[in-house]
Amino acid sequence: MAGGIEVKTPEQILVMRRAGLVVARTLAALRDAARAGLTTGDLDRMARVLLAEQGATSSFLNYGAGYGVQPFPAVTCISVNDEIVHGIPGERVLADGDLVSVDFGAIVDGWHGDSALSFVIGEPRADDRELSEVTRRSMWRGIAAARLGGRIGDISAAIEGFVRTQPRRYGIVREFTGHGIGSAMHQAPDVPNHGRRGRGPLLVQGMCLAIEPMLTLGGEATATLEDDWTVVTRDGSRACHWEHTVAITRRGLWVLTAEDGGEAELTALGARFGPLGD
């Protein structure tokens, strides 16, 4: 531990990479399978099968038990259109033009991986495509800003700075943040999606973070539905969520939930790609 933050050994990060690949492959399969006419519950059932096939268990199922809320009843969070995060999969039928965010977490040998991606069913509206692309790219800016010896605020400032330099104004959701991750899904420190460089905890070797911007086409205010979980935009505007789990290694950054470890995106942004192992 360093300042209340769990620091992982290289061996532990290698196990987290296995969890990360389960997450990456499951999310890719769900994105490829999603089409109009399927329900969000169909996608969740598919994720349960893939999780079992890969010998992993869910980070999400029964999350929150004992905290006075309904324990989370699924292995994915599927959030559609004005839903930002934590949507509960069920009978909702996906339709052409829906903007869908899927968040998924897996445990391998006690270590977690957590990632989310967004896509549109059928033909996307231009502003939805752009919202998803700006959210995705802001995530990569945040990841690439994580440098040994830097601070959490560097990540936050990179995300916010990228979003604020877009020609159009987006809402940056503030009530939910990224987080440390490792032997539990949610750990210290929080990783806000807005903030200032040079602030917050020091970034050290062995730290693992889930970096997850949530943007909207409207305002930043959120509301939680009666199901205890689904977070929506208060103004009904559409929202988008992307997330990766990244490890800070002695060699650089390793995006544990990206199939290529983040090599392509990190290299393009001038950040050091630093996988462990051979």
Residues of this chain that interact with Mg ion (CB under 5 A) are: 103, 114, 116, 210, 243
Return the amino acid letter for 269. L
Nearer to Mg ion, 220 or 243 (CB): 243
d(CA 39, CA 45): 10
Name the token pair of 44: 């969740």
Nearest-approach distance from CB 20 to Mg ion, in angstroms: 12
Nearer to Mg ion, 114 or 160 (CB): 114
Q: From 29, 59, 41, select the one nearest 182 (Cα to Cα).
A: 59
d(CA 140, CA 175): 21
Nearer to Mg ion, 210 or 271 (CB): 210
Nearest-approach distance from CB 264 to Mg ion, in angstroms: 22
d(CA 13, CA 15): 5
Nearer to Mg ion, 65 or 268 (CB): 65
Q: What is 103-163 written as a DSSP string? A: EEEEEETTEEEEEEEEEESSSPPHHHHHHHHHHHHHHHHHHHT--TT-BHHHHHHHHHHHH
